[in-house]
């Protein structure tokens, strides 16, 4: 169905002439001389900042779409809650070690928790010595230093010494 039929244009001729006067409104002199230069400069500036493009784009996208911002905030909140839940599951292990440790400094608690977890792992897993990844280093060619061995002409390096000036 066609929209309502417009009247002959002559009905609005005087109005149209009046409106045509608005075309005389012009921006300040020489405004358009610099307009395109500003546009091109902004395009070049945008192209020269790729590091801010991804997060800048994400922020503007979230401002433009509130639901997207809400979704990101909810996902972040879920991540935090999950992390706190996992952390609370580890707390009983610390309590198993020694209930008295609950008042100990954080560093001591962490060390005791680590030891308890290692012990627990040792109870359930069988460690094959040949698969051990750490060995006790031994250096048979090194002997304790003694003044007799460091006699002049022996080639041994003497430790540095000095005599105080006073």
Partner 1 sequence: MKASAAEAVVPEPATVAPDDATLVRRAKGGDLDAYDDLVRRYQERIYATIYHMTAHHEDANDLAQETFIRAYKALSSFKGDSGFFTWLYRIAVNRTLNYLKQRNTRNHLSLNDLDINAEHDPAWVALVSEKTPRREASLHELQENLNVALQKLSEVHRMVVTLHDIQGLPHEEIARIMECNAGTVRSRLFYARQQLQAYLSDYLD
Give the whole-angstrom CA distance, residue 126 versus residue 25. Answer: 89
**Is residue 25 close enough to count as binding partner 1 by CB under 8 A?**
yes
Question: Is 63 or 145 the residue whose CB approaches partner 1 more closely?
Answer: 63
**Is residue 21 close enough to count as binding partner 1 by CB under 8 A?**
yes
Sole residue written with tokens 């230093």? 145
Q: Smallest distance, Å, CB 70 to partner 1?
A: 19
Q: Label residue 108 exposed, middle or buried (CB < 10 Å: 0-12, 13-18, 19+).
A: exposed
Q: Smallest distance, Å, CB 54 to partner 1?
A: 15
**Is residue 35 close enough to count as binding partner 1 by CB under 8 A?**
yes
**Is residue 59 close enough to count as binding partner 1 by CB under 8 A?**
no
Give the whole-angstrom CA distance, residue 41 versus residue 165. Answer: 71
Q: Which of 10, 30, 38, 58 binds partner 1 (CB under 8 A)?
A: 38
Interface with partner 1 (CB under 8 A), residue total: 32
Q: Which residues contact 46 (CB under 8 A, 6 or more apart)?
A: 53
Contact residues toward partner 1 (CB under 8 A) are 2-4, 6-7, 12, 14-28, 32, 35-40, 42-44, 46
């Amino acid at each position: 169905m066609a929209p309502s039929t417009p009247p002959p244009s002559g009905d609005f001729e005087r109005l149209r002439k009046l409106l045509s006067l608005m075309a005389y409104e012009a921006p300040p002199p020489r405004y358009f001389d610099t307009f395109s230069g500003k546009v091109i400069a902004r395009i070049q500036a945008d192209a020269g900042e790729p590091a801010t493009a991804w997060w800048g784009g994400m922020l503007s996208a979230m401002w433009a779409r509130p639901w997207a911002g809400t979704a990101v905030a909810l996902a972040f909140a879920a991540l935090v809650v999950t992390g706190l839940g996992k952390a609370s599951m580890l707390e009983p292990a610390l309590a198993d070690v020694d209930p008295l440790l609950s008042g100990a400094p954080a560093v001591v608690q962490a060390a005791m928790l680590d030891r308890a977890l290692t012990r627990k792992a040792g109870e359930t897993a069988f460690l094959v010595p040949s698969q051990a990844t750490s060995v006790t280093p031994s250096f048979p060619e090194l002997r304790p230093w003694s003044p007799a061995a460091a006699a002049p002409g022996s080639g041994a390096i003497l430790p540095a010494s000095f005599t105080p000036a006073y």
